[in-house]
Chain A
Amino acid sequence: MKVDTIMNKDQELKMLTTQEIKEIEKAISIVPYKKAACVEALKVVQEHRSYVSDESLKEVASYMDMSAEELDSVATFYNLIFRKPVGRHIILLCDSISCWVMGYENIKEQLTHKLNIGYGETTADGRFTLLPNPCLGTCDCAPALMIGKDLYRNLKVEELDEILKKYE
């Protein structure tokens, strides 16, 4: 009975895709032992699946010869490994000092109002997830935010609609 249960659980585990394995193996090849590439492996899976679900975490852990708990202790340490579902586009709004001085709070207020979500939340249509982000390193052009790979600097409240429109 007990054996059956374990086997069923194993069968439930989805497998890493060939492409994911290829990318993870590349990361493993430059470090002396497998486990050292676990952050890279988490990044690979997140890149393909948008976030690291409990199931994904188990798959990666099993592949990296780690316990799920050990891998989760690493995954949850980092700000940009997402352990919960996220929207199609991630908005990282810089909340650090230069942006704060230059009017971050206004931008935040408008953005949360327009999207009708707070930090850590995703819009009902799954389009955006809004997250605060420490200093984006573009302080001479504050305030700033990133959507996906795109950086927006010298933000003005009036520009927000135009920017958001680009992302479906």
Chain B
Amino acid sequence: MEKPLTQHIRKDGRPLSLKEYEQVGGYQSLRKIVKMSPQEVQNLVKESNLKGRGGAGFSTGLKWSFVPMNVPKPKYLVANADEMEPGTFKDRILLESTPHQLIEGMIIAAYAIQADESFVFLRWAYKTAAEAITLAIYEAQEAGYLGKNILGSGFDLHMHLHTGVGRYMCGEETALLNSLEGKRATPRAKPPFPQVSGLFGRPTIVNNVETFCCLPHIVNNGADWFKKLSLTKDAGTKLYGVSGKVKKPGAWELPMGVTLRELIEDHAGGMQDGLKFRGALPGGASTDFLVEEHLDVKMDFEGVAAAGSRLGTGTVVVLDDKTCPVGFVKNLEHFFAQESCGFCTPCREGLPWIEKILASIDNGDGRPEDIKLLEDHTKLLGPGNTFCALAPGAMEPLQSALKYFKEDFERHIREKGCHYEMEMATKALSQ
């Protein structure tokens, strides 16, 4: 099984130096692309069927193709390394261990759209990654992979590291651009799309870290090779992860399209002793729950969508049978309410209201009509009713929890409290 993105990661976790990275074939792809036209690089990536690994799953090559080519400088490229989706820890691994792979991928993307300025937008908490990237950018500059006239091609690219100051909204690409411009990270209206008018009003591409890391391998091995890595129509490998009460939580690079069951039972070692699988968020906090009937769902963009959810970031958060689904969703909605940028009313006002309703149900103050009220909110804050995707994303786990775990909500209201807590307390007393 090929693991192009992670095969060279050192066991001690220390990042690969430039020399070590070059020894395993690093930066070879640049020698190929400088002999290609930007259009040829775009076509190659389009053919490879690489889809964005940040959550939306949009074709990377197609995204690039909207960038106007014959316009004056500057054009911008941005790596979205603001990994803040709760339950998601995949980009951290790539950033800390193989920063040069990210830089090489970014150079390929920049060449394809002829960008001359680039930023890595890294979240504040990733201190180890910040050190690794700072050093790697310096090494790449010294070696002539960044800067002016890269490998004698006449192509220039400058790269800067920007560390964010903490806000989930910065993961949304237009809000990220506002943040890079020194503004509040509120989303922008689209159109114009960033490809045409992005950072500082210039053509801009924002891609996820894992997406960039796929690029050197696509250039080196070809589009067909990349497609064949996958078990399904969605090409490549994927960095999957599992957290929650499983025996061996972790992250693994696997062929795109492995099943949820394989992830949880084979790679994560199954549920902890005495616990049963109840459900899971397949790709971060803003994805709908999948439940037992979905265990054989293929974890690619189409497969998860057909099951009524989204692949998202591909990092699974597991809910077990001794953890309260109401408390679980309350935690998620607290996060979304706190991280709403406050720019549009349904999100700013709706999410805190939802959090309060969930808290009152959890505390035993819920009313029978609250369930209907929550269901109404999943529509009022759904797609099309808010300015960006934050609130609709927040509604995904809520609407699916109300569908699959309704009895738990009703029982909290009926029994005026949390039966999971009661059971735990009773057990503790009897011991």
Contacts and interface: CB of A to CB of B under 8 A. Distances in A.
B5 interface: no
A77 B185 contact: yes
B84 A134 contact: yes
A139 B165 contact: no
B182 A139 contact: no
Contact of B245 (A97, A101, A134): A101
A163 to B, nearest CB: 17
A76 B22 CA distance: 43
From A40, A79, A138, name the one whose CB has the most chain B CB atoms within 10 angstroms. A79
Contacts of B338: 134
Interface in A114-143: 133-142
A138 B92 contact: yes
B contact face: mostly helix, strand, loop, or mixed: mixed
B42 interface: no
B167 A78 contact: yes
A80 B244 contact: no
A98 interface: yes
A136 B125 contact: yes
B89 A139 contact: yes
Interface in B140-165: 158, 160, 162-165
B244 A102 contact: yes
A146 interface: yes
Interface in A149-166: 149, 151
Interface in A1-37: 30-32, 35-37
Contacts of A40: 162, 182
B323 A101 contact: yes
A38 interface: yes
A95 to B, nearest CB: 8
B352 to A, nearest CB: 16
B183 interface: yes
B126 interface: yes
A92 B166 CA distance: 12
A146 B323 CA distance: 25
A136 B242 CA distance: 15
B165 A137 contact: no
Interface in B271-294: 281, 285
Contact of B89 (A43, A81, A140, A146): A140
A102 B87 CA distance: 12
A38 B87 contact: no
A77 B184 contact: yes
Nearest to B397: A97
Given A80-B165, A97-B317, A146-B125, A135 B86 contact: yes
22 contacts: A31-B200, A42-B165, A43-B165, A74-B183, A77-B167, A97-B86, A97-B328, A100-B328, A101-B243, A101-B320, A133-B125, A134-B166, A134-B168, A135-B88, A137-B84, A137-B89, A138-B89, A139-B87, A139-B243, A139-B317, A146-B125, A151-B125
Given A98-B243, A139-B89, 16 more contacts: A31-B181, A37-B182, A77-B184, A78-B165, A80-B124, A95-B331, A96-B285, A101-B319, A135-B335, A138-B89, A139-B88, A139-B315, A139-B317, A140-B89, A151-B125, A151-B128
